[in-house]
Amino acid sequence: MDFAHWLATSAEYGIAGEKPIALIAIMKYHSENYTVNTTLLEMLHPLKKRKVHPIFNVLAEGRLKDSSWSWDQLMGPTTREFEKQIAEFTVRFSDINEAFSRLTPRDAATIAKTLEADLGKVAKRY
């Protein structure tokens, strides 16, 4: 099972949930900034998160009621929900960090484009 599909099936709003949107934002950042040999957890470093956050906000517009609150729940220093999802997926299926570190920017762009197209098929709620 791939991580994006797993996040979407476990999210209340599917691909339009906050965790899948965060993954799309990370993939877009990865592809646009040519980060290589970087794990998914390294993408959650405060300096990178700060750059991913605006991408998340654009993708979340009209889909999440309060994207700032959602971001804080996912990436905040006390909750770290996204890190928990990475850890759970790694234990249950495979090491997503290792797999992510092997993605080329081109691979990430292809994945981001596919996921963003799926997201575009979902009607905005807000």
The whole-angstrom separation of Cα 63 and Cα 96 is 26
Q: Which residues of 17-29 are buried (b: 16+ CB within 10 A; e: fewer)?
A: bbbbbbbbbbbbb
Contact 7, 17 (CB under 8 A): yes
Confidence of residue 123 (pLDDT cuts 50, 70, 90): confident
The whole-angstrom separation of Cα 72 and Cα 33 is 23
Number of domains in the chain: 1
What range defines the domain where residue 13 resides? Answer: 3-120
Residue 126 lies in a domain: no
In tens, the pLDDT along 30-41 reads 999 977 889 999
In tens, the pLDDT along 44-80 reads 999 999 999 999 999 999 999 999 999 999 998 888 8
Residue 106 lies in a domain: yes
The whole-angstrom separation of Cα 40 and Cα 43 is 5
- Is the entire prediction scored with pTM above 0.85? yes
Residue 93 has phi, psi (to 5 degrees) of -125, -70
Residue 125 lies in a domain: no
Residue 97 lies in a domain: yes
Which residue from 41, 48, 52 is spatially nearest to 95, judged by alpha carbons?
Answer: 41
Rg of the chain, C-alpha, whole Å: 13
